Amino acid sequence: MADGTPMAHDLDGELAFALSLADAADGFTLPRFESADFTLGWKDDRTEVTEVDRQAEALLANRVLAERPAHGFLGEEHGLQGDARSPWRWIVDPIDGTSGFVRGLPVWATLIALTHDDAPVVGVVSAPALGRRWWGASGHGAHVDGRRIGVSDVAELALAQVSVTFSAGWDELGLTGELAAIAQQARRARGFGDFWQHCLVAEGGLDVAIDAVGVAPYDIAAVKVVVEEAGGRLTNRLGDGTHLGPAAISSNGHLHDEIVERLRG
The per-residue pLDDT for 7 is 52
Q: Could you give the residue range(s) of every CATH 3.30.540.10 domain in the chain?
A: 8-149
The per-residue pLDDT for 43 is 54
pLDDT band at 2 (very low <50, low <70, confident <90, very high): very low
- Cβ(237)–Cβ(208) under 8 Å? no
- In the chain, what percentage of residues exceed pLDDT 70? 93
Helices and strands (H and E) in the chain: how many: 8, 15
Average pLDDT over residues 121-145: 97
Which is nearest to 34 in space by CA: 105, 110, 82?
Answer: 105
pLDDT band at 1 (very low <50, low <70, confident <90, very high): very low
Average pLDDT over residues 102-117: 96
**AA letter at 135:** W
Q: Could you give the residue range(s) of every CATH 3.40.190.80 domain in the chain?
A: 157-263
* CATH class of the domain comprising 8-149: alpha beta
Name beta bridge partners: 209. 163, 250
pLDDT band at 45 (very low <50, low <70, confident <90, very high): low
Residue 112 has pLDDT above 70, yes or no: yes
The per-residue pLDDT for 50 is 84
Residue 163 has pLDDT above 90, yes or no: yes
Whole-model pTM: value is: 0.93
Burial 30-68 (b: 16+ CB within 10 A, else e): bebbeeeebeeeeeeeeebbbebbbbbbebbbebbbeeb
pLDDT tens per residue, range 87-108:
999 999 999 999 899 899 999 9
Fill in the DSSP letter of residue 8.
G
Average pLDDT over residues 214-234: 97
The DSSP string of 138-207 is TTTEEEETTEEE-------GGG-EEEE---HHHHHTT-HHHHHHHHHHSSEEE---HHHHHHHHHHTS-S
Give the containing element (helix H, strand E) for 74: strand 72-75
Pick 157-263's CATH classification: 3.40.190.80, 3.40.50.800, 1.10.150.20, 3.10.20.30.
3.40.190.80
- Cβ(11)–Cβ(122) under 8 Å? yes
Residue 11 has pLDDT above 70, yes or no: yes
Residue 218 has pLDDT above 80, yes or no: yes
Which is nearest to 194 in space by CA: 86, 108, 133?
Answer: 108
